[in-house]
A and B are shown apart, each in its own frame.
Chain A
Amino acid sequence: MTNSFVLRADERGYNKILSTGATASYVGGHPDAFITRFSSFNFGDYQDGRPGFGRIRVFGDEAFHHPGCSYNMHPHHNFIICAFVLEGKLTHINTLGGLEELGPGDYYAFSAGSGGLHEELNRHVEPMRAIYLWLLPDHLLLPPSYTRGHFDAAAGLNRITLLIGDDAGAIPIAQDARVSRLVSDVPRSFRYRPRSTGHGIYAFVIDGTLRCDGATLKRRDSTAVWGADEIICETGRGDTDVLFVETIM
Chain B
Amino acid sequence: MTDDALKRLMCLGCGFSYDEALGLPEHGLPPGTRWRDIPADWVCPDCGTPKSRFEMVEIPYAIGQPAARAVA
Contact = CB atoms under 8 A, between A and B. Distances in A.
A136 interface: yes
- Majority SS of interface residues in chain B? loop
A136 B67 CA distance: 20
Nearest to A137: B59
B39 interface: no
A57 B46 CA distance: 18
Nearest to A113: B62
Contact of B46 (A75, A134, A137, A138): A75
Given A136-B57, A140-B8, A77 B62 contact: no
B15 A141 contact: no
Contacts of B38: none
B13 to A, nearest CB: 7
Contacts of B53: 47
A140 B12 contact: no
Nearest to B65: A141
A114 interface: yes
A112 B62 contact: no
A139 B10 contact: no
Interface size class of A (residues with CB under 8 A): 20 to 34
Contacts of A138: 59
B62 to A, nearest CB: 4
A142 interface: yes
A75 to B, nearest CB: 5
Contacts of A42: 12
Nearest to A78: B15
A42 to B, nearest CB: 8
Given A74-B47, A77-B46, A114-B65, A141 B60 contact: no
Contact of A77 (B15, B55, B60, B61): B15
B12 A75 contact: no
Interface string B45-63: 0110000010101011110
B46 A78 contact: no
B26 to A, nearest CB: 14
B14 A77 contact: yes
Interface string B5-19: 000101111111100
Contacts of B13: 44
Given A75-B14, A77-B14, A141 B57 contact: no
A107 interface: no
A73 to B, nearest CB: 13
Interface of A: 42-44, 47, 51, 57, 74-79, 112-114, 134, 136-143
Interface of B: 8, 10-17, 46-47, 53, 55, 57, 59-62, 65-67
